[in-house]
Amino acid sequence: MAAQGVDTDVEHASVDGTGDFTDGSDELYGFAVAVVFDDGRWSCTPMSDEARESLDAAVTELRGLRASGPAFGLFDVDEAFFAIVRPGPETVRLALSDAVCAIDYDLAADILDVLGVDVPDLTPDEVDEADPWPEGDLAVLADLGLPEPVLSVIMDEVDLYPDEQLGTVAQNLGFADEFAAVLDRIDR
């Protein structure tokens, strides 16, 4: 899949029409972590709850890091899917592990909206039976050492939870210890 850049004007595509990042429950399990490669070393920091709840907020927070090296966000949402958000000066590169999750989760729906992909039109029974499929730019981290085919294999590992899949991303890029340390500190 060729690298995709999308406009930075992110509009909310809330599935439930509220703009809220919910699936009807009070709280979602998960996390948002900002990752920066600067001066030859990786650093990971937790992102705000607002960044985890809104693609607009996530992009704004990541751009606000003002890092001289590459910066991106890793998002685990409710043990259902993960997303990678990598803003550039004029575009945002996005990868979503499971487009089916856009039916129930606003962040996934927002990502599909920005990518110009329709939210899948499935019945509840079809959702339960649907195989996950990734969308977006699977080469989002290729220049940092995670080629598109490797990210594709990680996304296809349906026996792993999203935090484990993101741990594999961190392992492949060389920041597993930094990533694990942040996850140990945050309330998920």
List pLDDT tens digits, range 24-33. 445 778 999 9
Instruction: Give buried/exposed letters for 160-181 (b at 16+ CB in 10 A, else e).
Output: eebbebbbbbbebbebbebbee
Instruction: Answer yes or no: is pLDDT of 22 > 80.
Output: no
> How far apart (Å, rounded) are the C-alpha atoms in residues 112 and 106?
10
Confidence of residue 14 (pLDDT cuts 50, 70, 90): very low
So what's the pLDDT on residue 52?
A: 80
Q: How is residue 165 written in tokens? A: 């899949």
So what's the pLDDT on residue 69?
A: 93
Packing angle between helix 106-115 and helix 55-63, nearest 10 degrees? Answer: 70
Measured CA angle at 166 (ends 119, 45), to 5 deg: 105
* Percentage above 90 pLDDT, the chain: 66
Q: Given its phi and psi angles, is residue 90 left (phi above 0), alpha (psi -120 to 50 degrees) or beta?
A: alpha
> How far apart (Å, rounded) are the C-alpha atoms in residues 91 and 94?
10
List pLDDT tens digits, range 75-119. 999 999 999 999 998 899 999 999 999 998 889 999 999 999 999
pTM of the complete model: 0.84
Supply φ then ψ for residue 30, to 5 degrees: 145, -170
